[in-house]
Amino acid sequence: MASFQKYTTKQGQMWLFKTDTGINPETGKRQTTTRRGFKTKKEAQIAAAKLEQEIASGRSIKNDNLTFQNVYDQWFSNHSKTIKLSTKKAIESKFNRHILPRFSKLKIKEITRPYCQKMINEIAQLIKSVNDIKIQANQVFKYALKMEIIERNPLEHVTIPRQQNEIINEDNETDERNYWKKDEIRNFLSITKHELDFRDHVLFHLLIYTGARKGEILALTWDDIDFEAGSIRLNKTLFHHDGKFIFQTSKTRESKRLISLDPLTLSLLNKWRIKQNEAYLAGKGYLNNNKVVFDRDDGSPMRLAYPNEKLAALIKKHNLHKITIHGLRHTHASLLFEAGASIKEVQERLGHSDIQMTMNIYTHVTDTLKEQTAQKFQRYIEL
């Protein structure tokens, strides 16, 4: 016979029940289970009756004591075999930083929707990408459902709170702009030309003129560049793990792409190739066994953090509008739209698998493009 009890949480009064589940075959002792998170006593009574029927019918409840950590370990052991090493590390980081500290010790059957909502609200105060955290945690609960460890997903219907900086505000809109305008690009490339090594100048030029991802650029080898056809093949990305550099294939089919290069970019790349070869012949560098375009003095690929550090230092030194390395990719897309490129053309050049990603950039196009749109409307209506 189940017993019922009311208890207090930050969300208000809740109900729990305790019931005898029979003899534990491993210990030979009687055992009980506790289920929490019911809004009313009636809900608790219904759940208790259902559980007692399951016990009477001989259904096993050996999963009652499984913690979230136990189920996560099961799920990740299987899931990690289907993903790339870089993705594996990213997922582990999200769980270790945000999910496991809040869920790991809890019995997964006792995790409630109100608790999940509370946790999501807390995480939303710390990071912007809270939706991604919810998606990752949800995979564990979905696995638990699939394995019949739980009967309902407590993350279902949990909402993502709207962050304050998502509310449109004319005063802070400019500060959140993560791309540069045409005159800002010209100024930045002039700075890199005069203050950085030629290699680094070419690196930033290529990031801006191709819109490629940082990992794609740093993984480039000379056979990826066709100087005669004026094109560059992007089909791999650089990843650093346990002190080693790993070249991974692109994540999606759309990421593997061939894009055109303008004459200026081709000329800069050719000059850098000549300088690189001259350095090796003069004994000023190591043999570039990887044949990477952007290597260090010892012939190894560049650190993934290096472009970020250089960009941040130049922004601070010259008081430039603050953007990230990813902002250079956003910049390329914005300027393509200004130049009249279609959404489909920009999607293909940037390697977006989902056109919505391209549309998101399009909705944040620069003031120049907005002015052009107004002028087009005026010209049309005055005809």
Q: pLDDT at position 168, please?
A: 40
Confidence of residue 89 (pLDDT cuts 50, 70, 90): confident
Residue 288 · residue 299 · CB < 8 Å:
yes
d(CA 2, CA 17): 6
Mean pLDDT value across residues 254-268: 88
pLDDT at position 240 over 80: no
The better pLDDT of the pair 121, 172 is held by 121
As to burial, measured by CB atoms within 10 angstroms (0-12 exposed, 13-18 middle, 19+ buried), residue 178 is middle
Q: How many CB atoms lie within 10 A of CB 246?
A: 16
Q: pLDDT at position 298, please?
A: 76
* List of long-range contacts for 76-79, beta carbons under 8 Å, 24+ apart: 79/139
Token pair 């189920």 is found at 71
Q: pLDDT at position 171, please?
A: 41
* List of long-range contacts for 280-284, beta carbons under 8 Å, 24+ apart: none
Nearest to 213 by CA among 114, 325, 314: 325
Confidence of residue 172 (pLDDT cuts 50, 70, 90): very low
Task: Specify the range with the lowest mean pLDDT, choosing from 174-188, 244-258, 270-284, 333-347.
Answer: 244-258
Residue 217 · residue 231 · CB < 8 Å:
no
As to burial, measured by CB atoms within 10 angstroms (0-12 exposed, 13-18 middle, 19+ buried), residue 329 is buried
Task: Specify the range with the lowest mean pLDDT, choosing from 87-96, 169-178, 365-374.
Answer: 169-178
Mean pLDDT value across residues 301-321: 93
Confidence of residue 151 (pLDDT cuts 50, 70, 90): confident
The better pLDDT of the pair 195, 82 is held by 195
Q: What structural domains does the chain harbor?
A: 1-64 (3.30.160), 66-164 (1.10.150.130), 182-377 (1.10.443.10)
The better pLDDT of the pair 284, 361 is held by 361
**pTM for the structure as a whole:** 0.60
Mean pLDDT of the chain: 83
Confidence of residue 358 (pLDDT cuts 50, 70, 90): confident
Percentage of the chain lying above the pLDDT 70 cut: 82
SS3 letters across 54-72: HHHCCCCCHHHHCEHHHHH
Task: Specify the range with the lowest mean pLDDT, choosing from 215-219, 237-241, 274-278.
Answer: 237-241
Q: pLDDT at position 310, please?
A: 95
d(CA 294, CA 288): 10
Q: pLDDT at position 167, please?
A: 43
d(CA 268, CA 274): 10
Handedness of CA 346, 352, 355, 360 (dihedral sign): negative
Mean pLDDT value across residues 97-122: 93
Q: pLDDT at position 253, please?
A: 64
Mean pLDDT value across residues 129-134: 90
Mean pLDDT value across residues 198-203: 96
- Give the model confidence (pLDDT) of 21-75 as tens digits: 776 655 667 778 888 888 899 999 998 888 888 777 655 555 667 899 999 999 9
Handedness of CA 33, 39, 41, 47 (dihedral sign): negative
d(CA 219, CA 306): 14
Q: How many CB atoms lie within 10 A of CB 186?
A: 11
Confidence of residue 250 (pLDDT cuts 50, 70, 90): low
Coil vs helix vs strand at 232 = strand
